[in-house]
Amino acid sequence: MIFEDMVEIWVPVVFGAGGVVLGLTNYLGKVRAKRELEALKSELQIHAAERQMRVSNLYERRAERIADLYGRMAELSPMCERHVPQLERGNRQEDLSELTGKLSDFCLFFDTSQIYFPERLCILLEKTVIALKTSLSGNSVDNGAGDQADGAAQKEKMAAFVAAVTAFEATIPLAQKALKEEFRKMFGS
């Protein structure tokens, strides 16, 4: 009887305690899951903010490159207009080296910045840049070497240079228009 009385007393206590433990375990599991979910949510928000920052920086760099290319073209256009007629007549001026240097800088900038520009603009400028590079890579006008260079070869070099500059000058308005459109599109205007 004593054993039966003990069973009657302890069975509800044990099962009740088990229920409490089970309930407590369930509650703690939910609390832990909620904390893990909140931590995961917080981590995802941090990653999203970091990604947004990288995209924003890239967007800003792209806008700067577009504006810089536009400015370089705006600077070169009058230089080309001023020098091409003189070059076609065979007049060499000292500031021809300035034009050659600017064109060379433009080619380098364009090559290193193509990733930022729309493909249609790259295609528009690529042929002209290739022509410029060809004319500037040692085949262009060699100041001071006119006496040593063959007259026909010198004329050919000059013609190649003039053709490249003329082609560049012809693409500037089209490229500038494309750059303006791309810049405005970036800012929704």
pLDDT digits (tens, 9 = 90+) for 62-112: 999 999 999 988 888 787 777 766 665 655 656 577 777 888 888 899 999
Residue 130: pLDDT band with limits 50, 70, 90? confident
Of 26-30, 105-109, 164-168, the range with the highest mean pLDDT is: 105-109
CA atoms within 13 A on the CB side of 56: 6
Residue 139: pLDDT band with limits 50, 70, 90? very low
Indicate if the pLDDT at residue 25 is higher than 90.
no
Tell me the average pLDDT across 44-72.
90
The label of the residue with tokens 């290193």 reads: 112
Nearest to 142 by CA among 97, 98, 184: 97
Q: With pLDDT > 90 as the criterion, what percentage of the chain qualifies?
A: 11
- Which residues are CB-neighbours of 169 under 8 A, at least 6 positions away? 77, 80, 81, 84
Q: Cα–Cα distance between 135 and 153 in angstroms, integer?
A: 13
The amino acid that residue 135 corresponds to is S
Angle formed at CA 109 by CA 82 and CA 159, multiple of 5 degrees: 40
Extents of the domains making up the chain = 2-186
Show the tokens assigned to 141.
């006008």
